[in-house]
Amino acid sequence: MDRIRIVGGNELTGTIPISGAKNAALPLMIASLLTDDTLTLENVPHLADVEQLIRILGNHGVDYAVSGRRERQGEGYSRTISFTARNIVDTTAPYELVSKMRASFWVIGPLLARMGEAKVSLPGGCAIGTRPVDLFIDGLQALGADIEVENGYAVAKARNNRLTGNRYVFPKISVGATHVLMMAATLARGETVLENAAREPEVVNLAECLNAMGARITGQGTSTITIEGVDSLSGARHRVIPDRIETGTYAMAVAMTGGDVLLEGARADLLQGALDVLSRTGAEIIPTNSGIRVLRNGSGIAPVDVVTEPFPGFPTDLQAQFMGLMTMSKGKSKITETIFENRFMHVQELARLGAHITLSGQTAIVEGVSKLKGAPVMATDLRASVSLVIAGLAAEGETVVNRVYHLDRGFERLEEKLSRCGAVIERISG
């Protein structure tokens, strides 16, 4: 099993190309199930989750072709992938596939909309909480689906073989459920209105793609999305937005170590809430025509309190990274997690590096220390793993991060990007 070895203490200087967003690419790929034409996606990141979803879509009969830069060729690493679901050969998504990635449950929406039926394994729990699918099921039932849970599967059928538009109010904001209901409603009979919908940039990116395919969606980026159903969708060519979580992660790494880095291709509008918080820590954030420049001139890191919130607030997917940064702040900070339970599993691993963190319910109180010391640590999930990398970049001596397969799910060639900016970091295979 691969590990990442870091020797801390170096500032970061140079350019880091920002990859396409994993959280945008996955629903866009799933949208290919809605049409028998080809959907071509540009700027698709090379990640373990993307490769797993390609396998899952292949199980349903989706063909794909990759063009553009391949592995270890040039900077940026982006690929263009074309997906063609001309013939859906299977409307069942089995447990052995869905259990490996929760987002694969989202195929239930497009399959139900296009084929009138779907049988999808329930994804079960995960390291950062139960993340139930009740909102998905309730919303699809509101669109006229009959859904039963049998032997760990959601078995869904559309009445009269087609979904029907309706008004649905999300009892709580859910990005995944917004993706699924928006996709399902594109082929429903009549109008669907989704209220209290997620406003995240990834939702907007999906809506723009669906509209390019012939859907009629308005209101994306607001809490009320309206979808006028159409009889069929066509193919399209669409670009995945740059990854705002990767952008925020590398910005926090620069704030942690000091230095001056251009995050090439990053868009400030996708994470302004997080950048505002980062500015308050003492980092300088400068949007440019080519990306976002982040620098810290060696001054101390100021403590800042944050509360995770749906977009446009501070993202839960940057909470662990921000905690890593706060471990060396000059004071005490409070980090409150409101989106997921059990998302403080990185606390004990940061403590192994010398961090002083206490937990009180869903709030972590971080008392900054003057130095961290390298140690072997264990990644527990995707975002927790990269918080350990951030801490290791500033720690004295050697830090070895184990279970880096978590990192490979969401960060494209992290060690290569950081090493080009002066970090002493390498992957150890086996």
pLDDT single digits (tens) 86-145: 999 999 999 999 988 888 999 999 999 999 999 999 986 444 344 578 999 999 999 999
348 SS3 class? helix
Nearest to 49 by CA among 92, 106, 132: 106
Q: What single letter denotes the amino acid at residue 260? A: D
Q: What is the pLDDT of residues 12-52, one digit of tens each?
A: 999 999 999 999 999 999 999 999 999 999 999 999 999 99
Q: Which residue is listed with tokens 């395919």? A: 213
**Catalytic: which of 54, 88, 126, 424?**
126
- Nearest CA to 337 among 327, 345, 348, 328? 345
pLDDT value of residue 77:
66
Q: Where are the beta strands (DSSP E) in 289-414?
A: 291-296, 306-307, 332-336, 356-360, 363-367, 376-378, 398-402
Q: Do residue 228 and residue 271 come from a single domain?
A: no
* Whether residues 279 and 390 fall in one domain: yes
Rounded alpha-carbon distances, angstroms, from residue 184 to 35, 63, 101, 347: 12, 21, 20, 39
Among 164-173, 192-201, 255-264, 290-299, name the one with the lowest average pLDDT.
Answer: 290-299
Q: For residues 189 and 403, which has the higher predicted lDDT (pLDDT)?
A: 189
Q: What's the structural domain count of the chain?
A: 2
Joined together, the tokens standing for residue 71 give 């592995």
Give the E-state strand segments of 95-213 in sequence order: 117-121, 145-150, 153-158, 167-169, 191-195
Report residue 137 as tokens.
């099921």
Is 86 in the same domain as 142? yes
Compute the distance between CA of residue 325 and CA of residue 247 in angstroms, rounded to an integer: 15
pTM metric for this prediction? 0.95
Instruction: Determine the average pLDDT of the residues in 170-186.
Output: 97
Lowest mean pLDDT among 76-85, 220-229, 261-270: 76-85
In the annotated binding site for UDP-N-acetyl-alpha-D-glucosamine, the residues are 102, 131-135, 317, 339
| Residue 232 sits in the same domain as residue 249 | no
234 and 248: one domain?
A: no
Structure tokens at 325: 């940064």
Nearby residues of 289 by Cβ (< 8 Å), 6 or more positions away: none
List, for residues 231-278, the tens digit of each pLDDT value. Answer: 999 999 999 999 999 999 999 999 999 999 999 999 999 999 999 999
- Same domain membership, residue 265 and residue 234: no
- Give 15-42 as a DSSP string: EEEPPBPHHHHHHHHHGGGG-SSEEEEE
Q: Of 239, 256, 291, which residue is a domain's last?
A: 239
* pLDDT value at residue 383: 76
Instruction: Give the per-residue pLDDT at 5.
Output: 97
Residue 67: pLDDT band (50, 70, 90) is confident
- Average pLDDT for 365-369: 98
**Residues 272 and 291 both lie in one domain:** yes
- Between CA 163 and CA 398 the distance in angstroms is 56
End-to-end Cα distance, the chain? 5
- Please give the pLDDT value at position 76: 44
> Count of CB atoms within 10 A of residue 392's CB?
28
Shared domain check, 401 and 263? yes
Structure tokens at 119: 């049988």
407 neighbors 382 (Cβ within 8 angstroms): yes
Weakest-pLDDT range from 92-106, 126-140, 298-312, 335-349: 126-140
- 210 pLDDT above the threshold of 70: yes
Kindly give, in sequence order, each residue whose CB lies less than 8 Å from that of residue 255, ignoring residues fewer than 6 positions away.
278, 281, 282, 283, 294, 296, 301, 325
Check residue 160 and give left, alpha or beta (phi > 0: left; psi -120 to 50: alpha). left
Last residue of a domain, one of 239, 263, 279: 239
Please indicate, yes or no, whether residues 259 and 394 belong to a single structural domain of this protein.
yes
CB atoms under 10 Å from CB of 4, counted, come to 23
Q: Give all strands (DSSP E) within 245-404, no chain letters.
A: 259-264, 284-288, 291-296, 306-307, 332-336, 356-360, 363-367, 376-378, 398-402
Joined tokens for residue 344: 């403080």
Q: Are 184 and 259 in a shared domain? A: no
Look at residue 124 in the predicted model and tell me its pLDDT. Answer: 61
- E strand map for 315-405: 332-336, 356-360, 363-367, 376-378, 398-402
The question of whether 209 is a catalytic residue gets the answer: no
Number of residues in the chain: 430
Structure tokens at 384: 């927790």
Which percentage of the chain shows pLDDT scores above 90?
A: 85
293 and 332, same domain (yes or no): yes
Interatomic CA distance for residues 79 and 29, integer angstroms: 13
CA distance 368 to 322: 12
pLDDT at 71: 43
Distances (CA, A) of 276 to 24, 221, 304, 364: 23, 20, 11, 20
> What order do you get walking across the sheet with 224-228 strand by strand?
167-169, 191-195, 224-228, 216-218
Residue 315, pLDDT > 60, answer: yes
Least confident of 101-105, 352-356, 419-423: 101-105
Q: Six-digit token pair at 392? A: 């290791």
Which of 239, 255, 278 is the last residue before a domain boundary?
A: 239
In 3D space, the residue among 213, 159, 212 whose CA is nearest the CA of residue 33 turns out to be 213
| Residue ranges at the known binding site | 22-23, 102, 131-135, 317, 339
Check which CATH number belongs to the domain holding 102 and give it.
3.65.10.10
| Residue 220 domain boundaries | 24-239
Q: Is the domain of 79 the same as that of 225?
A: yes
